[in-house]
């Protein structure tokens, strides 16, 4: 998507594409709520404390299967639409070396006539023909790749841990009943309803705040502030967990939890997706984005298989919250490895035009008038 956008609105364009994930989360909650409520009205069973066997309704086995099958429909539509999209002009020109086809494809997308310049393309391609595992890449983009991979890793460790501890957090907030006081279908409905509310009030606005402000504030500061605020709220939840669990303080607990998701999405969850799409040269852009995303999924795996198994009681949940606060602070620190990309062309950012320049606000040191060290 970065290769279709102009430099003035590129960040908002990429962030808007990613923000549709928030729309998907809301619809996922709605689908789960609707399906579970239909089955609950027809086949609702007793509470678990009343009957351990019948509280798990046999019909509940159909619910998750139906929800899963409905989730396949958007995936099929996405596959169809993606097959209809032409390859980006930059890829066709710089990687395949076909300036004529690139001009035709971009003219079709932009509805304007674009001239092809094969000679200039050949010179440009020769100057940027280096592989991922090369000294040239390491010197130009090694720090950036470490930055995008590490920040995405720390983000997903903290972000997905929040999802995985919802079974413990939601009852503590008073948003759902304890598992012994509900049947399987009732638990699914209440959890879906709570996830829908959190997404609607916290997750969804965060995505679109990024879209609206990313070209004004910049990716760098949005990511810094997002990680910092996540750290603060997670630390408060970890230290004051027992206090927040008290019934009269449930609303504070819920507010802090919602703010974590708000600043995750008006922060690193959006910018860790945007920055790898802008920082790297055309030849390696998708590869570096994939490596960054894979690093994030490694963090999600740690959340799923390590932290989730550790969260067996209240004290362990408190320890996890404090650990996740530290994890978010690591993400804050690693953000200084990336640079601001706002207002610059992809070729300028990646150095493909031979004029790479850092514009990270944190690395600028004011010197004598008219001079600046970067």
Question: Is the pLDDT score of 41 beyond 60?
Answer: yes
Question: Is the pLDDT score of 372 beyond 50?
Answer: no
Domains by residue range for the chain, with CATH: 2-85+130-373 (1.20.1250.20)
The predicted-structure confidence for 199-225, as pLDDT tens digits, reads as follows: 898 889 999 999 999 999 999 999 999
The predicted-structure confidence for 265-289, as pLDDT tens digits, reads as follows: 999 999 999 999 999 888 888 899 9
203-225 residues labelled b (16+ CB within 10 A) or e (exposed): bbbbbbbbbebbbebbbbbbbbb
Question: What are the tokens at 276?
Answer: 């790898």
pLDDT at 81: 86
Residue 278: how many CB atoms within 10 A of its CB?
27
pLDDT at 116: 53
User: Which candidate, 370, 374, 371, 365, places its Cα nearest to that of 339?
Assistant: 374
Question: Is the pLDDT score of 52 beyond 80?
Answer: yes
* Percent share of the chain, pLDDT over 90: 39
pLDDT at 38: 94
């Amino acid at each position: 998507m970065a290769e279709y956008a102009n430099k003035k609105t590129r960040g908002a364009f990429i962030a808007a594409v990613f923000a549709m994930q928030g729309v998907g989360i809301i619809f996922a909650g709605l689908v789960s709520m609707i399906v579970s409520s239909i089955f609950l009205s027809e086949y609702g069973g007793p509470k678990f404390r009343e009957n351990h066997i019948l509280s798990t309704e046999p019909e509940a086995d159909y619910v998750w299967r139906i929800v899963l099958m409905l989730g396949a429909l958007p995936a099929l539509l996405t596959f169809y639409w993606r097959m209809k999209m032409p390859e980006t002009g930059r890829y066709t020109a710089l990687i395949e070396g076909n300036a004529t086809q690139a001009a035709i494809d971009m003219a079709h997308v932009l509805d304007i006539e674009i001239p092809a310049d094969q000679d200039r393309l050949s010179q440009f391609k020769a100057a940027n023909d280096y592989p991922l595992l090369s000294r040239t890449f390491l010197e130009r983009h090694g720090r950036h790749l470490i930055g995008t991979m590490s920040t995405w890793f720390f983000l997903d460790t903290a972000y997905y841990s929040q999802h995985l501890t919802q079974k413990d957090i939601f009852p503590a907030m008073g948003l759902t009943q304890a598992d012994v006081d509900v049947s399987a279908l009732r638990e699914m409905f209440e959890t879906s309803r709570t996830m829908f509310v959190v997404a609607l009030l916290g997750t969804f606005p965060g995505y679109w705040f990024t879209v609206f402000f990313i070209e004004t504030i910049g990716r760098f500061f949005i990511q810094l502030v997002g990680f910092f605020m996540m750290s603060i709220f997670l630390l408060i939840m970890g230290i004051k967990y027992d206090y927040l669990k008290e019934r009269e303080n449930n609303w504070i607990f819920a507010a802090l939890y919602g703010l974590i998701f708000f600043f995750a999405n008006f922060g690193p969850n959006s910018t860790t997706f945007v920055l790898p799409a802008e920082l790297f040269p055309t030849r390696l852009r998708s590869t570096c984005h994939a490596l960054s995303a894979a690093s994030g999924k490694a963090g999600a795996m740690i959340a799923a298989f390590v932290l989730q198994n550790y969260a067996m009681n209240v004290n362990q949940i408190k320890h996890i919250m404090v650990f996740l606060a530290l994890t978010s602070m690591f993400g804050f620190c690693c953000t200084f490895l990336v640079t601001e990309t706002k207002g610059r062309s992809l070729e300028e950012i990646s150095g493909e035009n031979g004029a790479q320049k850092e514009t990270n606000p944190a690395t600028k040191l004011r010197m004598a008038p008219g001079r600046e060290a970067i």
